Amino acid sequence: MIDDNYALVHIDVMEQGDKKTTLENAGGVDMMKEYGGEKSGLPFYAFLDVKGKKIADSNVMPRGMNIGYPGSPEEITAFMDLIKKTAPRLKEADREKLKAYLVENAPKPAGSQ
């Protein structure tokens, strides 16, 4: 369902040590800055239209904080709002499947089972 609604591009940035030169995409940090992610942490994601104009990004939590990997109920709700905004043709049933996946695979708090 994601491939039907998005063209995904992964950019490696903020690597450490030797990985910085071997894994990091040239210009990736500049691109992250361009789309508002230089202080966001990772993962950061920006949603662009077909012309490359940003229509949304993952800095939608309170105080403009980045969602990162959506794990908490608040992050999942914010992420699903982004999906609804950026993939308007995605069927409600598919959005519910995605939300269920995120809830089921949410990181567990430290010390929980």
Average pLDDT over residues 68-79: 95
> What's the pLDDT score for residue 110?
67
- Please check whether residue 46 is in contact with residue 35, taking contact to mean a CB–CB distance below 8 angstroms: yes
pLDDT > 70: percent of the chain:
96
Domain spans of the chain, in order of start: 19-104
Give the mean pLDDT of the chain: 92
> What's the pLDDT score for residue 112?
61
pLDDT digits (tens, 9 = 90+) for 42-51: 999 999 999 9
pLDDT > 90: percent of the chain:
81
What's the CA gap between 62 and 12, in Å, rounded? 26
What's the CA gap between 84 and 79, in Å, rounded? 9
pLDDT digits (tens, 9 = 90+) for 56-72: 999 999 999 999 999 99
- The helix (H) or strand (E) run that includes residue 98 is helix 92-104
* More confident position, 36 or 1: 36
What's the CA gap between 69 and 67, in Å, rounded? 6
Tell me: pLDDT of 113 over 80: no
> What's the pLDDT score for residue 35?
95
